[in-house]
Structure 1
Amino acid sequence: MIIALLNQKGGVGKTTLALHLAGEWARLGQRVTLIDADPQGSALDWSEQRARERHARLFSVVGLARDTLHREAPELARSCDHVVIDGPPRVAGLMRSALLAAELVLIPVQPSPFDGWASAEMLALLAEARIYRPELAARFVLNRCATRTILARDTAEALADHDPPVLSATIGQRVAFADAAQSGRLVFELDDESPATREVHALAAEIDALRARRITP
């Protein structure tokens, strides 16, 4: 399955989610390749830091920040259970290529009205991609979320009846993600029972359930 994490707004946590989803599936014994399609190369930087720290490789990370992604990603998918695309911010050609490559698009948003407004441009590109790929599925993911705040609750309620819908699993605003990234690790490698680890597990499980049900747009 090819999953792309996309949002034209930067700073919503695409790379963190991409790395942790890839890591979650890898630790379950699945073959995973992560494509870093962001010219900033944050996922590649994480992978290089992991190698410097001599941590075992969990999954492959390859840089493909070019608009031929829709042709190259399916080739990689033939030898993997999952291809995870860490998408670019505000690069229209790359974004369109990632949309054409994906089977499922995850749109990370934070509990803020600014994120909601910024996602409108992303949704326009999604609608354009569905002209060619009507089966393309998409879901919002509430990320960096303080779950007990009124703003987080209101954002989740606002997205509940939205198209695309929002996933039930949310990811909190947790220091563990930054702590892990500094040494090229993932949160489950720091603490397998932490809230951050449980949240990533729940998110991956929900995506797996969608896949089993043959997700619809």
Structure 2
Amino acid sequence: MILGFLNQKGGVGKTTLATHVAGELARTGARVLLIDADPQASALDWSERRVGEGRPRLFDVVGLAKETLHDQVPSLSRGYDHVVIDGPPRVTALARSAMLASDLVLIPVQPSPYDVWASQQVVTLVTEARVFRPELRAAFLVNRRIVNTVIGRDVGDALAGLGMPALPVSVSQRVAFAESVAIGRLVRESHPDSAAAKEIEAVASEIMNGCGR
């Protein structure tokens, strides 16, 4: 499976989700490759920080912020069970290439009206990509949800109006994510019994159960 995390809006937590989901998939014994397709190379930075901390490699990470990504992924994916793409911000030729390379696109969206409105551009991009890839699946993933707030509860209704499904699970705003990322770790390692770790596990489970249309 090739999984792409894409959103035209920056700062929605794509890299945190991509690295954590890649780690969760690898935890099952699968061979996982993470492709950093964001010119900012945050996933590569996280990987280097991990090496600097002397942590074992959980999955391979390569940088490939090129518009020919969809042509190169088939050869790169050989020998791997899953490929996770940390896509670029903004709707660009690179984002289109990352989408065409994916079997499933997850669109991280924060529970904010601005984020919901901005997601329409990615929905349009998915629609265009399905002309060439009718089997492409896509779904929203609510990230950084503030627990026990009205907007945290209502974001699902707002996304429903965009005509694309949202995962029935979400990821909350938790300090554990920031703490683990800062030292090149995953919450599964630094906070193994935390609610954050359980949320990532639930997201990975939904992915493997064939979410999205």
Q: What TM-score, normalized to structure 2?
A: 0.97
What is the CA distance between 1:158 and its match in structure 2?
A: 2.4
Aligned pairs (5 A) from 1:95-134: 95-134=95-134
Instruction: For residues 9-51 of structure 1, give each alpha carbon's deviation from its aligned partner in whole angstroms, at most 9, with x where no partner exists.
Output: 0000000000000000111111000000000000000000000
Q: CA separation in 2, counterparts of 1:157 and 1:129? A: 25
- Residue aligned with 1:55, SS: coil
What is the CA distance between 1:136 and its match in structure 2?
A: 0.5
Amino acid aligned to 1:168? P
Q: Partner of 2:189 in structure 1?
A: 189
**C-alpha RMSD of the superposition:** 1.2
Q: State yes or no: 1:94 paired with 2:57.
A: no
What is the CA distance between 1:164 and its match in structure 2?
A: 1.6
Percent identity of equivalent pairs: 58
Q: CA separation in 2, counterparts of 1:54 and 1:106? A: 31
Amino acid aligned to 2:178? A
Runs of 5+ in structure 2 lacking a partner? Answer: none
Q: Partner of 1:168 in structure 2?
A: 168
What is the CA distance between 1:79 and its match in structure 2?
A: 1.2
- Residue aligned with 2:30, SS: coil
Q: CA separation in 1, counterparts of 2:212 and 2:205? A: 17
- Residue aligned with 2:29, SS: coil
Q: CA separation in 1, counterparts of 2:91 and 2:17? A: 20
Q: CA separation in 2, counterparts of 1:167 and 1:130? A: 20
Aligned pairs (5 A) from 1:1-217: 1-90=1-90, 92-160=92-160, 162-210=162-210, 217=213
Kept in 2: contact 1:111–1:151 (CA 8 A): yes
What is the CA distance between 1:78 and its match in structure 2?
A: 2.5
Q: What TM-score, normalized to structure 1?
A: 0.95
Amino acid aligned to 1:195? A
Any runs of at least 4 consecutive aligned residues in structure 1 with deviations exceeding 4 A, and if so which? none
Q: CA separation in 2, counterparts of 1:12 and 1:144? A: 8
- Residue aligned with 2:38, SS: coil
Instruction: For residues 176-200 of structure 1, give each alpha carbon's deviation from its aligned partner in whole angstroms, at most 9, with x where no partner exists.
Output: 0110011100001012110000000
Instruction: For residues 144-203 of structure 1, give each alpha carbon's deviation from its aligned partner in whole angstroms, at most 9, with x where no partner exists.
Output: 001311001111122246422000110000000110011100001012110000000000
Kept in 1: contact 2:123–2:162 (CA 8 A): no
Q: CA separation in 1, counterparts of 2:146 and 2:91? A: 30
- Residue aligned with 1:78, SS: coil
Kept in 2: contact 1:4–1:106 (CA 8 A): yes
What is the CA distance between 1:122 and its match in structure 2?
A: 1.2
Runs of 5+ in structure 1 lacking a partner? Answer: none
